[in-house]
């Protein structure tokens, strides 16, 4: 069964450094998402992406965040200058089309900012 | 605006006894409702989904959930708990098909513990 994959599984970085989290959505899916889960807190929506542009973003998704689909398979989340409070589990998800709102999640990337 | 409330942060049951994880929602439109499970150090796995077809939805691993519009509830049940059910469970709501990309809203999660 097709799966969403994410790399790396764990990323440790110094405060102020840039990080790129990578996701490979399910191949025939058209909608892509990033969520984050700070330890002990709810899973929070960050951004949705369709047709090479952002569809919707939350207030969390400020100017330090960006998303990109650099090729036909990868979907990336970049954090330009990491802060301690960016430490969280980041989940990528994808869904086939606008009529199917089931989202399929990857295993997550645990980001630790020191 | 949609919201979802999971009424219990932690539920503990004995192996072989029934499981009930409670969820209430609010939504402006016809909601789609989901339950996801997260095992320790694992990603989010879809357990089941409700989309207005049948009010009783059967999912994987023997779980099921009943949509009750009058009570705005979507509680998750299982007749007999297994040790492998120990995990975090999330109730999720989504507005169906009104935006180009559905934004789903997670509940705060319920940690299910199973006693031997």
Query: Mean pLDDT, chain A, as a whole number?
Result: 92
Contact A54, A67 (CB under 8 A): yes
Q: What is the predicted pLDDT for the residue at A72?
A: 78
**H-run or E-run covering A43:** strand A43-50
For residue B101, what pLDDT is reported?
Answer: 55
Any residues with CB less than 8 A from the CB of B94 and at least 6 apart, and which?
Answer: A101, B2, B31, B32, B33, B34, B102, B103, B104, B105
CATH number for the domain harbouring residue A21: 2.60.40.10
Provide the chain B residues 68-107 that lie in CB contact (below 8 A) with chain A: 90, 94-97, 99-107
pLDDT of residue A42: 86
Q: Is residue A111 one of the residues assigned to a domain?
A: no
User: Tokens 């959930």 label which residue?
Assistant: B65
Average of pLDDT values for A107-113?
95
* Model pLDDT, residue B97: 47
- Residue A28 inside a domain? The answer is yes
CA–CA distance, A51 with B26 (Å, rounded to integer): 30
CB atoms within 10 A of CB A7: 14
- The pLDDT assigned to B51 comes to 80
The verdict on A99 touching B (C-beta cutoff 8 Å) is yes
Chain A interface mutation, best of B40, B50, B101, B109, highest count of A Cβ atoms under 10 Å: B101
pLDDT tens digit sequence for A31-50: 999 999 998 888 999 999 98
Indicate whether A102 belongs to any domain.
no
Strand-pair partners of A12: A112
CA–CA gap between residue B4 and residue B27 (Å, rounded)? 9
pLDDT, mean of residues A41-69:
91
Interchain contact A91–B (C-beta under 8 A): yes
Confidence label for A94 from pLDDT (cuts 50, 70 and 90):
very high
Split into its structural domains, chain B has a count of 1
Single out the residue of A99, A103, A84 nearest to residue A35, CA to CA. Answer: A103
Q: Which domain holds residue A67?
A: 5-97
A33 and chain B in contact, CB less than 8 A: yes
Asked if residue B6 lies in contact with residue B56, where contact means CB atoms within 8 angstroms, the answer is no
Average pLDDT over residues A103-114: 94
Domain that holds residue B33: 3-115
pLDDT tens digit at each of 116 positions of chain B: 678 999 999 999 999 999 999 999 987 777 889 999 998 877 889 999 998 778 899 999 999 999 998 999 999 999 999 999 999 999 998 865 445 456 788 999 999 999 99
Q: In this prediction, what percent of chain A has a pLDDT beyond 90?
A: 70
B91: domain CATH number is 2.60.40.10
């Amino acid at each position: 069964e097709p799966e969403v994959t994410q790399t790396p599984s764990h990323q440790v970085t110094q405060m102020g450094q840039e990080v790129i989290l990578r996701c490979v959505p399910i191949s025939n899916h058209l909608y892509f998402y990033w969520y984050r889960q700070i330890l002990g807190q709810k899973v929070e929506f960050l951004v949705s992406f369709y047709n090479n542009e952002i569809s919707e973003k939350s207030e969390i998704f400020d100017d330090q965040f960006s998303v990109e689909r650099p090729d036909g398979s990868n979907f990336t989340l970049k954090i330009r200058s990491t802060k301690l409070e960016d430490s969280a589990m980041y989940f990528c998800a994808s869904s086939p089309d606008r009529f199917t709102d089931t989202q399929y999640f990857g295993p997550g990337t645990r980001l630790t900012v020191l | 605006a949609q919201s979802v409330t999971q009424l219990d942060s932690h539920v503990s049951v004995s192996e072989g006894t029934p499981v009930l994880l409670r969820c209430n929602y609010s939504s402006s439109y016809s909601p789609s409702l989901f339950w996801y499970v997260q095992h320790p150090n694992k990603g989010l796995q879809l357990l089941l989904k409700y989309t207005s077809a049948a009010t009783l939805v059967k999912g994987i691993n023997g779980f099921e959930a009943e949509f009750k519009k009058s009570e705005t509830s979507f509680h998750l049940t299982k007749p007999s708990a297994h040790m492998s059910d120990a995990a975090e469970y999330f109730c999720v709501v989504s507005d169906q098909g009104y935006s180009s990309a559905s934004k789903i809203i997670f509940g705060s999660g319920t940690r299910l513990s199973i006693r031997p």
